[in-house]
Amino acid sequence: MSKASRVMPVTALGNPNRLPEKVLVETGTKAGWYRELDLAPLGRGHLSVVRGMTLKPTYYITTPIYYPTADLHIGHAYTTVAADALARFKRMQGYDVLFLTGTDEHGQKLESRAREEGVSPQAFVDGIVIRIKELWRLMGITHDDFVRTTEKRHMDVVQHIFAQVFEKGDIYKGQYEGWYCEGCEGYFTATQAREMDGHCQDHERPLQRLQEDAYFFRMSSYSDRLLEHIRENPQFIQPESRRNEIVAFIERGLEDLCVSRSSFHWGIPVPFDEEHVIYVWFDALSNYLTGAGYPDDLARFERYWPADVHLVGKEITRFHAIIWPIILMAAGLPLPRQIFAHGWLVLDSGKMSKTRGNVVDPVILIEKYGVDAVRYFLLCEVPFGMDGVYSEDALIARLNSDLANDQGNLVHRTVSMLHKFLDGEVLPPGAETELDRSFRERILATPERMGSLFDAMEISKAVNVMRELASFANKYIDEAAPWALAKEGQKDRLATVFYYLAECLRVLAIVSSPLLVETPEKLWSLLGLEGNPRSEGWSKAQEWGVTPPHTRVGVSEPLFPRIVDEEKKEEKKQPKVPQLTMKDFQQVEMKVGTVKTAEAIPKAERLLKLTVDIGDEVRQIVAGIAESYRPEDLTGQQVVVLTNLRPAKIRGVKSEGMVLAAVDDGIMRLLVPDGRVEEGSKIS
């Protein structure tokens, strides 16, 4: 292979989520001549170097481009944070990532809003775009390009494609008469208008009856071809429910699409008829080609196109899954690999929208709780593809439960005990016990599990896997009982326990890097490690023994301080309870027990059914702790049981005692002994 050789796009071959076995390499002897280069001997899933050239698989992910009629809300932030998490993950895997976002700045609605403000449309959008870019900076968004549809590079792309499709005969001039929603920038058939009762529910306004000269796009002639593509490529539209909706829509019959307007002028002119501006969806959707360098930078375009994922909200699935693929077909360009339509982040009262004026400002939330708390909530609370519900109370509960109580507590107690018992030094580990082995396997399984879920777009599940590791590590501390080891002078065993905990925290810093912005590097620095977790790469999280022995950890400060709502705390103050005599207290019997099994109770979201060994017998107990504990985390956990409570049936399940727990801001925390004791030991 000559020095002039260049690597052709690898995403066009094989699984886009892995380095392919072969790539095409231009020979350098004649343009357009290529030969296959076998990468299998170099190892899949790793960066490979051939004669000084790095071969990296590409990953192109996009968000919708946002409509700058007003500042963006937390729902827009959700889409962009999700895309950012995926882009960060793929970079850590060694991919050459192109992450695109931007703004859709044309259309009648923007022209009208600018007129209301008494400024030009360009001046109006310029001010909002500045604030959008600042929002993405605050949220740690790592986009590689930001396309504005008012940029010349984009306008050239749109006019190029429009002229190309016109010359092919797929765009023709006619007269449009029908129903239009300015909020959607969308046209509706007479049938659709009747189904909507002449009213757009999303924008809460009546449809307009329009009649004007226009250019039309022959979408109807591509319906069979598009259906065939969808059926042959099940992953093209995800989730499956959205794909089924699109297929049903196409099967009802597609009409030709109006692709120009002549009744207003804020838009990209039709290249051969300046009395018309190009319809906003034909304009906006083409931004994905603009970001990829089409048509001027063909080397860039060939490397990144087709896009791996167009991430969109479910309300614009039809435009992306029908109009956009047909535009590409007409232009003779490859279709994107996947269009993923996620659900909405809604309020208790319903959909969040600028029109309804019920939006939540992410800037205010970041100022109050920090960027990582907001990002974590968005990625954890919304099952990808489905709707999620936002409330500030839910955000605070998630921050306190997952971040402060689980991860934050794990870091604080590990580092604090390291200083207390080993003078802050991570010593070389000794012999591995069965408890250690189980912990190590759980740590090393976490990156692989999370990676598979990221690739499947199951971000909330990936977040949960990370949370489970923190919970498992806290349980490991309880079972290893380093305070008892220190008391017994077992320094070798202490060294092993804390080495395993240090490795766990190292892995947590790496796997949290796609999700969080500030915390991973804080944790990395606290562990006394060099560099930063993002530059380590995802594969380092799957290696063991990376923490250098004799590393000294820093002084722990809470990574996630608990949020306390003073007003609610005051409201929850309980009235004084009557004082007991010693005789009264002696009538209460409490014993230490060990949870043998735990399972959910159907149709009882807060309840778990436990079997607890209390020494002389095993009791069945119903406990209202399901909102704070998962069944799988409780097996083997020691608890304190009130044993002489009269048996009762709760939701039809017999309960023979009570598990004691403390409640703080709605979060349950079990009362447990400070170190393991024999089952049946009495509390006195």
Q: Which of 373-377, 661-665, 669-673 has the highest mean pLDDT?
A: 373-377
Q: Between these two residues, 261 and 476, which has the higher pLDDT value?
A: 476
181 is catalytic: yes
Whole-number percent of the chain with pLDDT over 70:
84
In this prediction, residue 561 carries a pLDDT of: 82
Class of domain 60-346: alpha beta
Considering the candidates 90, 109, 154, 181, report the single residue annotated as catalytic: 181
Whole-number percent of the chain with pLDDT over 90:
59
> Quick one: average pLDDT of 276-290?
93
In this prediction, residue 7 carries a pLDDT of: 41
> Quick one: average pLDDT of 219-231?
96
pLDDT band at 201; cut points 50, 70, 90: low
Considering the candidates 73, 90, 143, 342, report the single residue annotated as catalytic: 73
Considering the candidates 314, 351, 461, 475, report the single residue annotated as catalytic: 351
Q: Whole-angstrom Cα distance, residue 309 to residue 84? A: 12
- pLDDT, tens only, 561-580: 888 754 454 444 555 566 77
- pLDDT, tens only, 52-91: 444 789 999 999 999 888 788 888 888 999 999 999 999 9
> Quick one: average pLDDT of 19-36?
39
pLDDT band at 605; cut points 50, 70, 90: confident
Which of 440, 468, 444, 465 is closest to 454 using CA atoms? 465
258 is catalytic: no
In this prediction, residue 183 carries a pLDDT of: 63
Lowest-pLDDT range of 189-198, 522-531, 654-663: 189-198
Asked if pLDDT for residue 169 goes beyond 60, the answer is: yes
Helix (H, G, I), strand (E, B) or coil at 303: helix
Asked if pLDDT for residue 26 goes beyond 90, the answer is: no
Asked if pLDDT for residue 33 goes beyond 50, the answer is: no
Rg of the chain in Å (alpha carbons): 30
Q: Whole-angstrom Cα distance, residue 301 to residue 581? A: 81
Q: Between these two residues, 571 and 459, which has the higher pLDDT value?
A: 459
What CATH number matches the domain at 574-670, 3.40.50.10090, 3.40.190.10, 3.55.40.20, 2.40.50.140? 2.40.50.140
Residues written for the chain:
684
- What is the residue-wise DSSP string for 31-88? TT-EEEEE-GGG-TTS-EEETTEEE--EEEEEPPPB-TTS---HHHHHHHHHHHHHHH
Cβ proximity of 218 and 248 under 8 Å: no
Q: Tell me the pairing of strands 309-313 and 269-270.
A: unpaired
Contacts of 186 (CB under 8 A, 6+ apart): 180, 281, 319
In this prediction, residue 628 carries a pLDDT of: 79
- pLDDT, tens only, 310-340: 999 888 999 999 999 999 999 999 999 999 9
Asked if pLDDT for residue 37 goes beyond 50, the answer is: no
In this prediction, residue 264 carries a pLDDT of: 84
In this prediction, residue 206 carries a pLDDT of: 83
522 is catalytic: no
491 is catalytic: no
Q: Where do the domains of the chain lie?
A: 6-54, 60-346, 391-552, 574-670
Considering the candidates 133, 314, 354, 596, report the single residue annotated as catalytic: 354
Tell me the pLDDT of the chain averaged across its residues.
85
In this prediction, residue 574 carries a pLDDT of: 52
pTM (predicted TM-score): 0.75
Q: Between these two residues, 385 and 273, which has the higher pLDDT value?
A: 273
Phi-psi label, residue 91: left if phi above 0, alpha if psi -120 to 50, beta otherwise = alpha
Q: Whole-angstrom Cα distance, residue 593 to residue 670? A: 12
> Quick one: average pLDDT of 228-244?
95
Q: Which of 13-22, 178-187, 583-592 has the highest mean pLDDT?
A: 583-592
73 is catalytic: yes
In this prediction, residue 28 carries a pLDDT of: 38
Residue 5: count of CB within 10 angstroms of its CB = 18
Considering the candidates 90, 109, 154, 184, report the single residue annotated as catalytic: 184
Considering the candidates 200, 258, 380, 504, report the single residue annotated as catalytic: 200
Considering the candidates 56, 133, 160, 203, report the single residue annotated as catalytic: 203
- pLDDT, tens only, 503-551: 999 999 999 999 999 999 999 999 999 999 999 999 999 999 999 999 9
Q: What is the CATH number of domain 391-552?
A: 1.10.730.10
In this prediction, residue 674 carries a pLDDT of: 80
Q: Tell me the pairing of strands 269-270 and 48-50.
A: unpaired
